[in-house]
Structures are given as structure tokens and as C-alpha cells.
Structure 1
């Protein structure tokens, strides 16, 4: 119990703040050049972990005679869109390739960054798709794919 009571000798002595020194050292460490750049790149990743358009919105509408698939792709060029039909699956893929180059005042390149972003959505249908009858259009950032519904042969059941 006597150790918990403040002693007059210890209270007059200036106390060193070792925790504060440790925090100051850690703060300086994280603001050094290599670590600071690494931490900034992590911050940039978490600000936008997925590239724009990585998960685009798709609606499927079934009418009496066709399926209408609508995909919202704002800012995407027609050349960046690919449609693939395999069996009873339709895959919509969007690929963006960019080359960013930074130059100084003497037109010497000091940074070049190549960006490639790809995203896709796959929709399944209850029957095999006849790709000859599929129609697709793209206007103002909206892709529409029309797939006719296949009517199977009706079989009568005997008594």
C-alpha cells in the first residue's frame, strides 16, 4: 500500500514521457518517403476498390415472345463491349484499356501507367440460345439484347 501513496521525492522530479516519445517516433516513421507512398496507395485503393463499371447493372425482362436484357454502361464505347453466347448462357463483357503517360517540360517520360479493367455478367436461360436470332443495340450508355423465346414441340399424351 505504501507504494501507491505519492512520495514527495518522486513528485518533484520531472517525469519523462516515454509513451509520447514512442508515438512521436512512430508518427515520423509513417511520414517517411517509402512508407508514406505505400500508405497513400492503400488509401487510394480503399477509396475505390473496384474500377468504375466493374459491376454494372443488368435487368432481364421476359415478354410473351422474347427476353429483353438491358445493361447500363455509361461512358463505355461500343468497341469495349463483347457479347458471347454459349449454350443457354449470354455473357456481357466490358474491357477498358488505357495508357497514362506523364511527361516533364522537356517531353521526357517519367511515369507510364497501363490500366486494364474488365468486368462481365453472365445470364442463364432455360433453353439453348440461337445466336442467329439475337439482336443487340447500344445507345446512350444502354445496351439492349433481344433473345426470342424458343417454343418447343408440344406432345400430346395418349390415354
Structure 2
């Protein structure tokens, strides 16, 4: 029976450790790629408020103004970035032609913390930061007089 055990690999043998390291490394790299994918598909934002306005700053690296669409409905704000890519390779001598077209989108929907005015908002893109400013809506409280009868 001792002969049988001599042919079995030791579980803590160097080859086993190397195999475990390789498998571990594979999963570490795979998870990094998944994290990178999800980070690329979201838009990081910060919301600031003052007494008179609400300011949203969105970090949009390497984005041009014409790629951005901003929509607001009630207190919901949607920032969407669309990237179109067209690549064409043509080689008449090799009788080769390849054309690829892709569209990628990322968006972020925010709930604004306070009611904002329907008009007079502004947006600007400077140094990879989209800044959107909304004036706060002035809440009007109707005072009702109570008559003595």
C-alpha cells in the first residue's frame, strides 16, 4: 500500500502550488476585466446644492459636446453619451474589404434632490467635466385668510 502512495502527487507539491497560482491569477485578471467593463458603462457624477441652485458635475473623459444628450422630466435627469465608431479597410490588390461599425452608449439617471425651475438651466463641458446648473424652484405658499362668521 505504501507503493501506491508514492505515485500520488503531494498536495503541497511545488507543481500543485504553481497550478493554484495560475488558476488564481486567471480569475483575478477576469474579475479586473469585468470591473473595467462596468466602470466604463457608468458616468460618475456629483450633485451640489446651494440656496438658489442645484449643480450636477459629470466626469466624461474624451467626450465631445455633440455626443452628449441631456433630458429632464420632473425631478429626473438623464445624461447619455453615445459613441459611434466606423472603421473601413480596403485593399484592391489583395481583394480585401472590411467595414465595421459600432455604437456604444452609457447613461446615468439621477433624481434631483429638490424641485428645480423649468427654465433657465445651463450646461457646459470643460476639461472632461460636464456641469449642469438648475435654479431651484421658488416654492410659493398660498396664504388663505380665514373669515370670521
Is TM-score (shorter-chain normalized) higher than 0.5? yes
Task: Give the count of matched residue pairs.
Answer: 121
Q: What does residue 93 of structure 1 align with?
A: 80
- 2:56 counterpart of 1:102: no
Q: What does residue 43 of structure 2 align with?
A: 56
What per-residue deviation string (whole Å, max 9, x for no partner) do you get for residues 21-58 of structure 1? xxxxxxxxxxxxxxxxxxxxxx99x8466287421211
- How far off is 1:152 after superposition? 0.7
Show structure 2 runs of 5+ residues with no match: 4-28
Q: What does residue 78 of structure 1 align with?
A: 65
- 2:142 counterpart of 1:124: no
Show structure 1 runs of 5+ residues with no match: 7-42
Which of 1 and 2 has greater Rg? 1
Alignment of 1:16-27 (within 5 A): none
- How far off is 1:110 after superposition? 3.5
Gap change, CA 1:158 and 1:108, over 3 Å in 2: farther
Q: What does residue 138 of structure 1 align with?
A: 125
Task: Tell me the TM-score normalized by structure 1.
Answer: 0.61
Q: Equivalents in 1 of 2:38, 2:89: separation in Å?
A: 21
| Mapped contact 1:51–1:117 kept (Cα < 8 A) | no
Task: Tell me the TM-score normalized by structure 2.
Answer: 0.65
Q: Aligned-pair RMSD on alpha carbons?
A: 3.3
